[in-house]
Amino acid sequence: MQFRGAGGPVKAVAAVRRLFPYQTLFQRLPCPSTVVAPWEILDSPFNRRHSRGAGRVGYRSLDELVPAVLDAVGRNGGAGGYVYAYYPRYDGVCHRYGVASDQARREFWRVDEAVRRLAEGLAGRGVDLLVTADHGFGDVTAEQTLELAAWPEVTKLLTAPLWGERRIAWCATVPGAQAACGNALAKRLGPAGSVFPSADLVQAGYLGRGPTHRRLTERVGDLAIVMAPGWAVRDRVAGEIEHPMIGLHGGVSAMEMGIPLIHCRCD
């Protein structure tokens, strides 16, 4: 996290607790729980924060994931419990090669085979197996990825880099410059995207219904850039690692918002 032009990372006391100030699902569950995650992220600050209340088990490959889940279910015994397993490789392949790529198709069928083996291993245990995802995907070409750096009349009105996703990005504007920044963005985007005051999206219920968190405003900034299907906007801070991507998510297209939910009762 870096402020635009300030140089170096933002240093904040208890940053992880400030970013994620809520109880986890596992802390709220009335039963034992286990998180099964890749070894390389198992003990990251983010993963430790979000797995509070659960035991953590690492794996190194998809072949190791299935027995890790089966072992965790077995340790719950007849009393029952909850096991959450996370597999990120399909996401990574889609980002790098695109959701329509041969690489993504091959990885999809590897996951499909692992789910089959998992269901077979859980047979007779009285377990509900749920398979889902946190988002869908859509492909965006480099030619349709817009660079904020090419818009100096916009960047001078921003107090921080864009955040969120390349398909929907949030903006923090200079005090009193929200309307001017929105107009400059709309002119640059044309049919590739739309600009909305963030507060309007919150009020209209696009971020959920019910009471809003007291710090929601700081998370959504002043303006939201909502890109049209097949388009993205990118902002980079000097010194950050480059992450070329074809497959993207976070937008409001059906491809990105539609996710699977597979339920298998393993009696």
* pLDDT tens, position by position, 128-164: 999 999 999 999 999 999 999 999 999 999 998 999 9
251 in any annotated domain = no
The residue behind tokens 């809520």 is 22
Q: What percent of the chain has pLDDT over 90?
A: 81
Does residue 153 sit in the same domain as residue 72? no
32-to-56, 57, 63, 203 alpha-carbon distances in Å: 12, 14, 25, 38
Residue 5: its pLDDT value, please?
58
- Annotate 99-108 with b (16+ C-beta within 10 A) or e (fewer): bebeebeebe
Q: Which pTM was predicted? A: 0.88
Residues composing the chain: 267
214 in any annotated domain = yes
| CATH code for the domain in which residue 130 is found | 3.40.720.10
Q: Which of 201, 162, 196 is nearest to 178 (CA)?
A: 196
The pLDDT-based confidence of 30 (bands split at 50, 70, 90) is very high
Cβ atoms of residues 228 and 191 within 8 Å: yes
The pLDDT-based confidence of 3 (bands split at 50, 70, 90) is low
What residue numbers bound the domain in which 215 lies?
Answer: 142-244
Q: Which of 248, 251, 253, 260 is nearest to 92 (CA)?
A: 248
Does residue 101 sit in the same domain as residue 19? yes
User: Phi first, then psi: what are they for 189, rounded to 5°?
Assistant: -70, -40
Does residue 107 sit in the same domain as residue 157? no
Does residue 63 sit in the same domain as residue 99? yes
Cβ atoms of residues 98 and 104 within 8 Å: yes
User: Which residue would you say has higher pLDDT here, 214 or 179?
Assistant: 179
Is residue 167 pLDDT above 90, yes or no?
yes
231 in any annotated domain = yes
249 in any annotated domain = no
- Annotate 183-214 with b (16+ C-beta within 10 A) or e (fewer): ebbeebbeebbebebbbebbeeeeeeeeeeee
CA distance 161 to 97: 26
Alpha helices (runs of H) in the chain, residue ranges in sequence order: 15-19, 25-28, 39-42, 45-50, 62-76, 89-97, 102-122, 152-155, 178-189, 198-203, 216-220, 254-257
CA distance 68 to 64: 6
The pLDDT-based confidence of 6 (bands split at 50, 70, 90) is low
Residue 7: its pLDDT value, please?
59
Q: Average model confidence (pLDDT) for the chain?
A: 93
Tell me the residue ranges of DSSP E strands in 118-231: 127-132, 138-139, 145-147, 163-164, 168-171, 193-197, 223-227
Mean pLDDT calculated for residue range 187-194: 98
- Bridging pattern class, strands 33-38 and 82-85: parallel
Residue 242: its pLDDT value, please?
81
Cβ atoms of residues 38 and 32 within 8 Å: no
The pLDDT-based confidence of 4 (bands split at 50, 70, 90) is low
Does residue 111 sit in the same domain as residue 198? no
CA distance 144 to 246: 10
6 in any annotated domain = no
Mean pLDDT calculated for residue range 95-121: 96
User: Which residue would you say has higher pLDDT here, 220 or 240?
Assistant: 220
Domain count, the chain: 2
